[in-house]
Amino acid sequence: MVGVTDIPFAGQGIGLGLEAFGAFEQYSAAKKQAGISQQEVGVEEQQDAVRKQAMELQYKRQSMQGLRQAQQARSMAVANATNQGAGSGSPQSSGLVGGLAGISGQAGVNQLGLSQNLGFGEQMFGLNSSLNALKIQMAGTQSQMALGQGLGGIGGGIASASSSWTKGGQTLQDLIGG
């Protein structure tokens, strides 16, 4: 038969059970949240990979376009020099040589700029990758933190319940019959 003094102990037991269940649910939700965060980072990495491919393709296209423009300018310079008779006396006139050198120099400067931009882009994608790795670590740490909070809550509940079990001069050992 249940006595009046047994009711608080039953309530404490139910409270501890609910506290444990709540802690488990909190941990489960945090673990799911961490998994979702990791999936988000995975999608961000895929997006970065596509952007990187697009950047590299753009670099190749611009590089080829620069080479084509330099070839066209060189051809036009040779044709103009020939039409004006600059190439008739000597194999190459100083004006033509200077013009061709200027065209080659500008093409080299343009190519250097493209290469530098590609290098900066590569660095940014590397930094994004490092940031994504840190995000994954943070998601795992948050899940671990939720577990710790849940266990701490259960421990606090047990400590609170055990202190009230000694009220009225009875200890838990007295109640169990020891």
> Residues with Cβ < 8 Å from 73, sequence gap 6 or more?
103
Q: Is residue 157 part of a domain?
A: yes
Q: Is residue 2 part of a domain?
A: no
Q: Is residue 1 part of a domain?
A: no
Cα(124)–Cα(62) distance, integer angstroms: 20
Q: Is residue 35 part of a domain?
A: yes
Q: Domain of 96?
A: 8-176
* 90 close to 145: Cβ distance less than 8 angstroms: no
Cα(4)–Cα(65) distance, integer angstroms: 92
The pLDDT > 90 percentage for the chain reads 3
Cα(108)–Cα(66) distance, integer angstroms: 9
Task: Compute how many other C-beta atoms are within 10 angstroms of the C-beta atom of residue 130.
Answer: 10
Q: Cα 48 to the chain's mean position, in Å?
A: 9
Cα(23)–Cα(15) distance, integer angstroms: 12
Q: Is residue 3 part of a domain?
A: no
Is the whole-model pTM more than 0.85?
A: no
* pLDDT tens track for 44-89: 889 888 988 998 999 999 989 988 888 888 888 888 777 776 655 4
Which uninterrupted H or E stretch holds 17? helix 6-83
* pLDDT tens track for 101-127: 888 888 888 888 888 888 998 899 888
Structure tokens at 139: 């998601």
Where are the alpha helices (H) located in 84-168, listed in sequence order?
Answer: 86-89, 94-165
- Based on the structure, what is the number of domains in the chain? 1
Cα(69)–Cα(129) distance, integer angstroms: 36
Structure tokens at 28: 């489960």
Per-residue burial over 23-55, b if 16 or more Cβ lie within 10 Å, else e, is beeebeebbeebeebbeebeeeeeebeeebeeb
Give the CA distances from residue 44 to residues 50, 109, 129, in Å, rounded to whole numbers and listed in that order: 10, 34, 9
Give pLDDT, residue 6. 54
pLDDT bucket at 150, cuts 50 / 70 / 90:
confident
